[in-house]
């Protein structure tokens, strides 16, 4: 008899094998796996008592708390579809996503109750509003409704049933709801476990938002291996280092911008941090300089992974090989900055030109990353036109521009929309960013194309300097000119204090492009 491929299988196994092991740490709250799943079961019953049935959507707006983590089991095991929402959005975005998804129940952390209260009259389809913390008038108290009076009734799950609807960032249009099935998520988890060794002794720190592509599925990966989930509600370097030390953390995931803030924390904050911590980075191509910094200064082992919300999400892994060990730290970092090779579970990954033909393995010819296989989404929720535009002839088109090196490792050069075309030349913003991050005074950088009267557009670099640095924009231009082809040198360099970012740490380049005409340039 076949058993459906679903992350709920990991929960079933963990209940049996890891019941007495520590499952969750959230401040003063400490739960064993037996206690954690008991809470999940009781909340499943509470949802059913509210009228939630198989296929109904349950939306969550919350940081990384134990209550949020419980949703990844409580909702699916009764056949409901979880809708994790980016909590840093505006109330108007919450309104659109909740209504578009058709959520019947909305579960909200106390910090966002005010935002939801301001739009409640515009949410006609929501039957129940649940306060995960900080209950107010008209809100169901999560703590008091758990336990309910009766046990939950399990649902029969098909592996092609929807597990979650994850909304894209919506930087250029309305967010799209990515439909992830139980099978999609299960195979993503198995792919990571095949490539990366984890054990019940590992302890995982939640630096990555759970809402972001289901926390890259570590909401289920950790449980599959009986690891401890150490919750982190605020991404702040001092707190991260304290938890790594106090909670004996062995692994975490983070976007490159988060890594930069961690690696550049003051020496007294970094003091005593254990070496050997493992981490995954994704969300934007990390600069080789950032990788060198993390591995050299902290002694941590960094692995670059790649994927998209639409691919469940991970489809590539920068797999370390024995022959890499003999390389210099700089050469090794250059390889680790690549997106790598396809996961064993993700399907066929190809880089193709405009005619759909695979590009040569020369490390130079640009093409688009495409994939077909078990982790590609079911489609965009209630948006067949967008689905057809993105999945063509069975292939998902990513929009990422990449090259293939002779060893088969792929390397993203840009999003196609971020490629700068200057005087007919294609310029990779990622390449310029990687160059500038090798300057000893540069902490963070983002490069976009800005209008130019002669060349059409030219690179504009926005740079955050390290504390106390005095380097000028002209000096940074010369640094690039000394390293890269002259036409890649930024026409403008702006020294800034901050960069606009999403909740997952990605720089919002569309905001930089929109504001270039009004920003003073050095």
Chain segment 52-73, per-residue pLDDT in tens: 999 999 999 999 999 999 999 9
Residue 184 lies in a domain: no
Q: What is the CATH number of the domain that holds 470?
A: 3.30.300.30
Euclidean distance between CA atoms 113 and 118, whole angstroms? 9
Residue 186 lies in a domain: no
Q: In this predicted structure, what is the pLDDT of residue 102?
A: 98
Q: In this predicted structure, what is the pLDDT of residue 520?
A: 40
Mean pLDDT of the chain: 92
Q: In this predicted structure, what is the pLDDT of residue 150?
A: 62
Strands of 193-308 (E only): list them: 203-205, 228-230, 251-254, 278-281, 301-307
513 pLDDT more than 50? yes
517 pLDDT more than 50? no
Residue 367 lies in a domain: yes
pLDDT tens digits for range 237-272: 999 999 999 999 999 999 888 888 898 899 999 999
Domain encompassing residue 500:
421-518
Contact 46, 88 (CB under 8 A): no
Euclidean distance between CA atoms 132 and 150, whole angstroms? 20
User: DSSP H helical segments within 391-445, as ranges?
Assistant: 429-436
Contacts of 325 by beta carbon, 8 Å cutoff, 6+ apart: none
pLDDT above 90 coverage of the chain, percent: 77
Query: Do residue 74 and residue 155 come from a single domain?
Result: yes
Euclidean distance between CA atoms 187 and 345, whole angstroms? 6
- Decide which of 415, 448, 479 is a domain's last residue: 415
Q: In total, how many domains does the chain have?
A: 3
User: What element of type H or E holds 449?
Assistant: strand 442-452
pLDDT tens digits for range 495-509: 999 999 876 677 888
Query: Do residue 173 and residue 44 come from a single domain?
Result: yes
Q: In this predicted structure, what is the pLDDT of residue 173?
A: 67
- Decide which of 156, 177, 198 is a domain's last residue: 177
In sign, the C-alpha dihedral spanning 502, 506, 510, 513 is positive
Contact 205, 243 (CB under 8 A): yes
pLDDT tens digits for range 12-31: 999 999 999 999 999 999 99
Query: Do residue 262 and residue 337 come from a single domain?
Result: yes
Residue 201 lies in a domain: no
Q: Is 357 helix (H, G, I), strand (E, B) or coil?
A: coil
| 361 C-beta neighbours (distance < 10 Å), count | 16
Query: Do residue 411 and residue 323 come from a single domain?
Result: yes
Residue 215 lies in a domain: no
Residue 414 tokens, joined: 């840009």
Strands of 152-283 (E only): list them: 162-167, 177-181, 203-205, 228-230, 251-254, 278-281
Euclidean distance between CA atoms 101 and 59, whole angstroms? 8
Query: Do residue 496 and residue 381 come from a single domain?
Result: no
Phi, psi of 338 (to 5 degrees): -80, 160
519 pLDDT more than 60? no
Q: Is 305 helix (H, G, I), strand (E, B) or coil?
A: strand
| 199 C-beta neighbours (distance < 10 Å), count | 9
Query: Do residue 286 and residue 399 come from a single domain?
Result: yes
Query: Do residue 63 and residue 91 come from a single domain?
Result: yes
Residue 141 lies in a domain: yes
Which of 113-117, 294-298, 343-347 comes out lowest in average pLDDT?
Answer: 294-298
Residue 406 lies in a domain: yes
Residue 224 lies in a domain: no
Q: What is the CATH number of the domain that holds 105?
A: 3.40.50.12780
- Decide which of 177, 210, 225 is a domain's last residue: 177
CA distances, 240 to each of 192, 284, 331 (Å): 24, 21, 29
Output b/e per residue, 226-235; b: 16+ Cβ within 10 A. bbbbbbbbeb
Query: Do residue 114 and residue 239 come from a single domain?
Result: no
Euclidean distance between CA atoms 119 and 260, whole angstroms? 37
Query: Do residue 437 and residue 406 come from a single domain?
Result: no
CA atoms within a 13 Å half-sphere pointing along the CA-CB vector of 174: 16
pLDDT tens digits for range 171-211: 556 889 999 999 999 999 999 999 999 999 999 999 999 99
Higher-confidence position of 484 and 203: 203
Angle of helix 256-263 versus helix 237-246 axis, rounded to 10: 80
Query: Do residue 273 and residue 370 come from a single domain?
Result: yes
Query: Do residue 501 and residue 469 come from a single domain?
Result: yes
Q: In this predicted structure, what is the pLDDT of residue 258?
A: 86
Query: Do residue 262 and residue 386 come from a single domain?
Result: yes
CA angle 9, 14, 17 (to 5 degrees): 130
């Amino acid at each position: 008899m076949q058993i459906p491929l679903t992350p709920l299988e990991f929960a079933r196994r963990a209940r049996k094998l890891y019941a007495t092991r520590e499952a969750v740490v959230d401040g003063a709250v400490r739960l064993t796996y037996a206690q954690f799943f008991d809470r999940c079961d009781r909340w499943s019953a509470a949802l059913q008592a509210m009228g939630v049935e198989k296929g109904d959507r349950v939306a969550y707006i919350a940081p990384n708390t134990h209550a949020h983590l419980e949703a990844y089991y409580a909702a699916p095991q009764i056949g409901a579809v979880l809708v994790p929402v980016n909590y840093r959005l505006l109330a108007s975005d919450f309104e659109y996503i909740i209504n578009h998804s058709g959520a019947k129940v909305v579960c909200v952390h106390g910090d966002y109750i005010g935002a939801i209260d301001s739009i409640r009259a515009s949410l006609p389809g929501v039957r129940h509003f649940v306060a995960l913390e900080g209950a107010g008038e008209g809100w169901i108290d999560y703590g008091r409704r758990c336990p309910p009076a009766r046990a939950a009734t399990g649902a029969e799950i098909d592996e092609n049933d929807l597990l979650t609807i994850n909304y894209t960032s919506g930087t250029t249009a309305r967010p799209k709801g990515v439909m992830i099935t139980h099978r999609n998520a299960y195979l993503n988890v198995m792919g990571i476990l095949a490539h990366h060794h984890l054990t019940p002794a590992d302890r995982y720190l939640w630096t990555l938002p759970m809402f972001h592509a289901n926390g890259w599925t570590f909401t289920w990966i950790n449980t599959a291996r009986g690891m401890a989930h150490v919750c982190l509600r605020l991404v702040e370097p001092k707190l991260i280092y304290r938890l790594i030390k106090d909670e004996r953390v062995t692994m975490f995931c983070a976007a490159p911008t988060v890594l930069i803030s961690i690696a550049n924390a003051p020496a007294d904050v970094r003091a005593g941090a254990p070496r050997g911590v493992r981490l995954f980075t994704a969300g934007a191509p990390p600069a080789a300089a950032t990788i060198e910094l993390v591995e050299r200064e902290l002694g941590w082992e960094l692995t670059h992974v790649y994927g998209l919300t639409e691919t469940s999400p991970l489809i590539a892994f920068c797999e370390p090989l024995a022959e890499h060990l003999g390389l210099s730290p700089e050469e090794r970092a250059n390889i680790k900055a690549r997106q790598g090779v396809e996961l064993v579970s993700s399907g066929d990954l190809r880089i193709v030109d405009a005619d759909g033909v695979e590009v040569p393995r020369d490390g130079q010819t640009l093409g688009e990353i495409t994939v077909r296989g078990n982790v590609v989404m079911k489609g965009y929720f209630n948006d067949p036109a967008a689905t057809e535009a993105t999945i063509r002839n069975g292939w998902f088109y990513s929009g990422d521009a990449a090259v293939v090196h002779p060893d088969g490792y792929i390397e993203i050069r840009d999003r196609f929309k971020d490629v700068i075309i200057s005087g007919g030349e294609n310029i990779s913003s990622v390449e310029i960013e990687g160059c500038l991050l090798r300057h000893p005074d540069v902490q963070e950088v983002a490069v976009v194309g800005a209008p130019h009267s002669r060349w059409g557009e030219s690179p504009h670099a926005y740079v955050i300097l390290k504390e106390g640095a005095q380097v000028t924009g002209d000096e940074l231009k010369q640094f690039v000119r000394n390293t890269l082809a002259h036409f890649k040198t930024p026409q403008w360099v702006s020294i800034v204090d901050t960069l606009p970012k999403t909740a997952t740490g990605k720089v919002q380049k569309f905001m930089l492009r929109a504001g270039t005409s009004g920003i003073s340039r050095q």
